[in-house]
Amino acid sequence: MKIETKKTNPPVKQVGSGRISPNKNRIRTYKQPDTKTSVKKTFPESKAKVIPKAINSENIRIITLGGVEEVGKNMTVIEYKDDILVFDCGIQFVDEDTPGIDFIIPNTKYLEENKDRIKAMIITHGHLDHIAAIPYIIHKIGNPPIYAGNIASLLIKKRMTEFPHLPEIDIKIVKPKEKFRLGNLGVKFFEVTHSIPDSMGISVETPYGNIVLSGDYKLEHVDEIPTEKEKENWGEIGKDNNLLFISDSTNAEKKGFSVSEKYIRGNIEEIIKNINGRIIVGAFASQFNRMIAIIEMAEKYNKKVILEGRSIKTNLEIAMRAGIFEPKKGTLIQAKDISAYPSDKILVLATGAQGEEFAALMRMSTKKHKYISLNNRDTVVLSSSIVPGNEISVQKLMDNLYRHDLKVIHYQISDIHSGGHGREGELKWAAKMVNAKYFMPAYGWHSMLKVHAEAIKSIGVKDKDIVIPDNGSIVEISDKGKKIQIIKEKAPSNITMVDGFSIGDIQEVVIRDRQNLAQDGIFVVIATIDTNTGKLRKSPDIISRGFIYLRESKDLLKQARYITKKTVETTIKGMKPINFDLVKKEVTDNISRYLFQTTKKKPIVIPVILGV
Ligand SMILES: [Zn+2]
What one-character-per-residue DSSP string does 411-456 give? TTTS-----SS--HHHHHHHHHHH--SEEEEESB-HHHHHHHHHHH
User: Do residues 248 and 323 both lie within one domain?
Assistant: no
User: Do residues 85 and 219 both lie within one domain?
Assistant: yes
pLDDT > 70: percent of the chain: 87
Q: Tell me whether residue 35 is in a domain.
A: no
* Whether the Cβ atoms of residue 69 and residue 98 lie closer than 8 Å to each other: no
Q: In CATH, what number is assigned to the domain containing residue 178?
A: 3.60.15.10
- Taking the alpha carbons of 414, 415, 421, 426 in that order, is the dihedral positive or negative? positive
Query: What is the model's pLDDT at position 24?
Result: 30
Summarize the confidence of residues 112-131 as an average pLDDT. 95
Cα(216) to centroid of ligand 1, in Å? 5
User: Do residues 429 and 497 both lie within one domain?
Assistant: yes
User: Do residues 492 and 529 both lie within one domain?
Assistant: no
Cα(189) to centroid of ligand 1, in Å? 16
Residue 478, H or E segment = strand 473-478
Q: Tell me whether residue 288 is in a domain.
A: yes
Q: Is the pTM of this model over 0.85?
A: no
Query: What is the model's pLDDT at position 16?
Result: 30
Sort 601 into a burial class: Cβ within 10 Å, 0-12 / 13-18 / 19+.
middle
Angle at 166 between CA 165 and CA 169, to 5 degrees: 145
Q: Tell me whether residue 6 is in a domain.
A: no
Q: 351 pLDDT exceeds 80?
A: yes
Cα(75) to centroid of ligand 1, in Å? 13
What does the H/E/C string look like for 479-508? Answer: HHHCEEEEEEEECCCCCEEEECCEEECCCH
Q: Tell me whether residue 24 is in a domain.
A: no
User: Do residues 216 and 118 both lie within one domain?
Assistant: yes
- Structural domain range at position 394: 263-410
Q: Residues whose CB is under 5 A from ligand 1 (ion)?
A: 127, 216
Cα(252) to centroid of ligand 1, in Å? 15
Q: 65 pLDDT exceeds 50?
A: yes
Between helices 424-434 and 446-457, what is the axis angle to 10°?
60
Between CA 469 and CA 332 the distance in angstroms is 47
What one-character-per-residue DSSP string does 292-352 give? HHHHHHHHHTT-EEEEESHHHHHHHHHHHHTTS--PPTTTB--GGGGGGS-GGGEEEEES-
Cα(129) to centroid of ligand 1, in Å? 7
User: Do residues 225 and 109 both lie within one domain?
Assistant: yes
User: Do residues 129 and 82 both lie within one domain?
Assistant: yes
Q: Tell me whether residue 514 is in a domain.
A: no
Between CA 483 and CA 480 the distance in angstroms is 8
Between CA 289 and CA 281 the distance in angstroms is 15
Q: Tell me whether residue 187 is in a domain.
A: yes
Query: What is the model's pLDDT at position 143?
Result: 97
Cα(244) to centroid of ligand 1, in Å? 21
User: Do residues 357 and 429 both lie within one domain?
Assistant: no
User: Do residues 203 and 271 both lie within one domain?
Assistant: no
Q: Tell me whether residue 161 is in a domain.
A: yes
DSSP character at residue 213? E
Which residues carry out catalysis? 248, 421
User: Do residues 328 and 202 both lie within one domain?
Assistant: no
Domains: count for the chain? 3
Q: In CATH, what number is assigned to the domain containing residue 555?
A: 3.10.20.580
User: Do residues 335 and 197 both lie within one domain?
Assistant: no
Summarize the confidence of residues 317-340 as an average pLDDT. 94
Query: What is the model's pLDDT at position 502?
Result: 62
